[in-house]
Amino acid sequence: MGESTITLQDVEVLWGLRVDGRPVTLHHVRRTVQERKHLVNEVLGFWPEDAMLKGGRLKMSSMYRQLTTPVPPDAPDELVRQYARMYLLILLGGLLFADACGNVVSLNWLDYVRDLEAMGEYSWGSATLACLYSRLCHACRASTTTTGGPYLLLQIWAWERIPSIRPEMYPAPEIGEFPVAGRWVAERTGVDPPGRRSSYYREHIALLRMDEFIWMPYSDERLAALPRYCRHGERIWRARVPLVFWHIIEFHCPDRVMRQFGLVQNVPEPVNTNPQGLHQFDLSGYPGRNWAQFHSAWIQYWNARANAEVTGQLADTFRPSNDYLKWYHEHTILYISNPSDQNPQMGQMLQGVSGQFEYLVCIYLRLPSLGTIFGA
């Protein structure tokens, strides 16, 4: 079938996060415990207890306590702003950039929420996508036992494009002034079978047919009906650019998934996803570093995003060309789960099918004339 991935278009359409804006960078400042408490009090309006601070992070439960007290009708402007900052921090630390714990938020975000007006200038969508790409890369390592990241975004993306793995529910047909993901806030009509484990979904995706995947779930009519902020960055949806989030640099390569934009998928250009060892960087190993300065070359690349759009020819079919399929099968792994695994829900029916596909494709590549015979 070929490659597919979540793009800047998906982030903006599904969650309404701005993608065309300033990069979310970081100047990592070292602070003592007392300086951290002063910072929290200055920005949020309360002094955190020692137990509420975990290194350079603040427990979100400390903010939940503050938010249990309603804002009085005659509250001063600064108090209202403090409440808004706490809600934003919970959103940042609990959803968009959640770590494996899911109950703390980095104090680095206080420098952003301090200026509420300026927050609207940043590309939160590209930073969220960079975080997701990075966390997915981290989760693929055999040594990884826990991970964080905006996986809810990936889950909704999959529901929109693979109907057969959607939950049993009635998505809302009308969502009003909300992003597309708002339609999944609906009543469930059933629950997944208790024995349906992750192996079931892995094998199901391995068997996915072309007609079971929706390449373009966002029709022109559907996009036109969305709030304007869900289409604000349309000019860079197909930009081939680095994505910047603090110390993280990931790459947005729409030329690898052109069918998601209704264009012909050709063999994409090679891409080095880890130049200069970018994947080896983390915050803990480089305290006090100005990441905006360190990544200045990549940030300049991002700033030229308007001129980085990938163009292509309109497609009249989603079926890939033989040249693309040959490239794809030479550069990918065609199985997801261990071919020797057995799905207890399906008996022997799915036993080893991924491995069989791998074998059959190898034979197919040795006999390229078969592609013409079967109309591939």
pLDDT digits (tens, 9 = 90+) for 219-247: 999 999 999 999 999 999 999 999 999 99
pLDDT of amino acid 189: 66
Give the DSSP H or E segment for 19.
none
Element (H, E) at 358: helix 353-366
**What are the residues whose beta carbons fall under 8 Å from the beta carbon of 109, sequence distance 6 or more?**
88, 89, 92, 93
Q: Which residue has the higher pLDDT, 244 or 141?
A: 244
Give how far Cα 195 sits from Cα of 53, 80, 188, 207, 366, Å. Answer: 40, 48, 19, 19, 40
d(CA 153, CA 166): 14
User: Which has the higher per-residue pLDDT, 168 or 226?
Assistant: 226
pLDDT band at residue 364 using 50, 70 and 90 as cut-offs: very low
pLDDT single digits (tens) 81-122: 999 999 999 999 989 998 877 789 999 999 999 999 999 999
What φ, ψ does residue 19 adopt, rounded to 5°? -110, -25
* DSSP state string for 240-272: -EEEEETTEEEEE-GGG-GGGGTB---PPPP--
Q: What is the 3-state secondary structure (H, E, C) of 221-240?
A: HHHHCCCHHHCCCHHHCCEC
Angle at 371 between CA 365 and CA 376, to 5 degrees: 120
Mean pLDDT of the chain, nearest integer? 85
Q: What confidence score (pLDDT) does residue 349 get?
A: 39
What is the pTM assigned to this prediction?
0.86
C-alpha span between 172 and 7 (Å, rounded): 24
